[in-house]
Amino acid sequence: MTRDSVHHALPTATVGETLAVMGDVFVPNIAKGVIVRRPKAVSMAEKLGLDQRAIRRLQQLNEKYGPGPLMLNTPDSRPMALILDPDHANRVLNETPEPFATAEWAKRKALEHFEPDMALVSHGPERAERRRFNEQVLQSECPVHGLGARFAKVVEEEACELLDHVDRHDGKLDWDMFDSAWSRVVRRVVLGDTARDDRGLSDMLTKLRSAANWAFFHPGHDHLRDTFHERLCTYLKRGEAGSLAGEISRMPLNEDTKPEHQVPQYLFAFDPAGMATLRALALLAAHPTHADRAQDEIAGNDLERAPTLDYLRACVLESLRLWPTTPMVLRQTTEETKWENGVMPAETSILMLAPYFHRDDRHLDDANRFDPDLWLQPGEAGNWPMIPFSGGTGICPGRRVVLLVTSHMLARLLKGREYQLNPPTRLLSSKPMPPLLNNYDLEFKSKAY
């Protein structure tokens, strides 16, 4: 049957199944915080194994309804669909932004709180201009950004200060210690050295992101948003050399570009990169054979020259595959779309749940194991959607800068040192990796050798 020959509606979940999807997929993800994480909710979700329930729920629907897409039983004014089939996921990602727009309505409502003109929630010529800008600033197709050596230096300096701190605390490394150093790296990379200690700017953004977690249920902080943008613009005007702000000062702009609405995304999206880095360190601490391979890579490279560190990048990608920091990838149809099984109405919100694909033990050998080689031999997973950075034409343009900075942070933390998780039983290589790893209560014992 061809797509064009089908005119009937897609299969639709029952009311009970729709409520179960709300309870198992949407509620836990919203509770954990879509725009900024709520540590207590993350801890609760880890203890209750909620991420596993979400995967299981979608697998059951897939077994009952086949490939879908599956419409949820929502009011006609707010149609929603689940993508259950790998080929459908690839289609949606490749046919972005028409007819599958990134500017999905719930995402728009959330990001309106602090970056209403960001590329992700824009459409048409405005999105095209903002996407061009982000791709150029972030050099999205270059494995190593032109400022790579400079970023590697920033990471080295901050990691060195962090490790001094660790040694003064009997070798203890925890989330708060790591996060302080990571935030300094992020401000320096994005805005320049003068922003290094501007915790006030990061705090303002966190407050705006907390409001964004509530999307349309929060009235917003208009005054705070203006103050934040004013302060951000002082850094953008300064355009410090050696930072992304410096790159921006040399970019062609037009009235649609709105750099001050793109850069908050750069700042906030580095947060999950920090989570992925500490989780990758936990994975390596729990898998000595992989830690040895990481040490070999570190020893075989001159870190000052910003090498690609493929193995450490693969470890970060595995951390993101096992525990994706953007679990819900959303699109919205701009017109009626035809599928093998029926027609999807225009204005439908589409959900691709990353963990459903990443951890599909029905199709992927070792879906629940730590296996960096999955990323080093990309043929292995074939056309299977691995979407920690989304994919296709809307893929995260910051992914390579993220992999550069995170792999160098791991290299600097690991060089000449060993790590043990506290307690060591937190992750065991002999067991499947847990559905969620709470980054906020990770703790390590580390010593130089």
Which of 266, 323, 356, 419 touches ligand HEM (CB under 6 A)? 266
CB of 275 to ligand HEM, least distance (A): 8
CA 133 to chain centre: 20
Q: CA 428 to CA 434: how far, in whole Å?
A: 10
How far is the C-alpha of 428 from the C-alpha of 370, rounded, in Å?
10
Q: Which residue is nearest to ligand HEM (CB)?
A: 398
For position 265 contacting ligand HEM by CB under 6 A, the verdict is yes
Rounded-to-integer distance, Cα 295 and Cα 313, Å: 13
The string of DSSP letters for 239-302 reads: --TTSHHHHHHTS---TTT-HHHHHHHHHHHHHHHHHHHHHHHHHHHH-HHHHHHHHHHHHTS-
> Could you say which of 54, 71, 84, 119 contacts ligand HEM (CB under 6 A)?
119
With CB under 6 A as the contact rule, which of the stretches 32-40, 272-280, 305-313, 371-379 interacts with ligand HEM? 272-280
Which of 273, 286, 436, 442: binder of ligand HEM (CB under 6 A)? 273
Name the percent of the chain in helix, strand, coil, to the closest 5: 55, 10, 35
Interface stretch with ligand HEM, choices 4-12, 226-234, 365-373, 390-398 (CB under 6 A): 390-398
Number of residues that bind ligand HEM (CB under 6 A): 27
Lay out the site mask for ligand HEM across 94-113 (x = CB under 6 A, - = otherwise). --------x-----------
Find the farthest-apart pair of alpha carbons in the chain and give their distance in angstroms, rounded. Answer: 70
x/- letters, 136..165, toward ligand HEM (CB under 6 A): --x---------------------------
The amino acid present at 330, given as its one-letter code, is L
The sign one gets for the Cα dihedral 389, 391, 397, 399 is positive
Residue 448 DSSP symbol = E
* Contact status: 427 vs ligand HEM (CB under 6 A): no
**Comparing C-alpha atoms, which of 188, 414, 376, 163 is closest to residue 282?**
414
Does a cis peptide bond (omega within 30 degrees of 0) precede residue 388? no
Nearest approach, Cβ of residue 119 and ligand HEM (Å): 4
Q: Is residue 326 part of the contact set for ligand HEM (CB under 6 A)?
A: yes
Least spacing, CB of residue 210 vs ligand HEM, in Å: 19
Closest distance to ligand HEM from the beta carbon of 270 (Å): 4
Looking at the Cβ atoms of 119 and 294, the one nearer to ligand HEM is: 119
Instruction: Candidates 52-60, 68-76, 214-222, 322-330: pick the segment binding ligand HEM (CB under 6 A).
Output: 322-330
Binding test (CB under 6 A) with ligand HEM, winner from 83, 276, 280, 386: 276
Q: How many residues does the chain have?
A: 449
Is there binding between residue 389 and ligand HEM (CB under 6 A)? yes
Q: Which of 45, 322, 402, 421 binds ligand HEM (CB under 6 A)?
A: 402
Cα 163 to chain centroid distance, Å, stands at 26
Binding residue (CB under 6 A) for ligand HEM from 68, 69, 397, 435: 397
From candidates 396, 414, 421, 442, binder to ligand HEM by CB under 6 A: 396
State which of residues 325, 332, 333, 439 lies at the interface with ligand HEM (CB under 6 A). 325
Query: Which span sits near ligand HEM by CB under 6 A: 11-19, 109-117, 324-332, 428-436?
Result: 324-332
Q: Does 178 bind ligand HEM (CB under 6 A)?
A: no
- Torsions phi, psi for 92 (to 5 deg): -60, -45
- Check residue 388 for interaction with ligand HEM (CB under 6 A): yes
In the 8-state DSSP scheme, what is residue 390? B
Of 295 and 407, CB closest to ligand HEM: 407
Q: In the structure encoding, which two tokens stand for residue 70, read together?
A: 């599956």
Beta bridge partners, 172, equal 445
Burial 18-31 (b: 16+ CB within 10 A, else e): bebbeebbbebbbb
- Closest CB to ligand HEM among 65 and 323? 323
Instruction: Provide the minimum distance between the beta carbon of 220 and ligand HEM in the complex, in angstroms, as a whole number.
Output: 21
Reported for 90-93, long-range contacts at CB under 8 A and 24+ positions apart, including other chains, are 90/383, 90/385, 90/391, 90/392, 92/331, 92/350, 92/352, 92/392, 93/329, 93/352, 93/385, 93/387, 93/390, 93/391, 93/392, 93/393, 93/394, 93/395
Q: Which residues bind ligand HEM (CB under 6 A)?
A: 102, 119-120, 131, 134, 138, 265-266, 269-270, 272-273, 276, 320, 325-326, 329-330, 388-390, 394, 396-398, 401-402
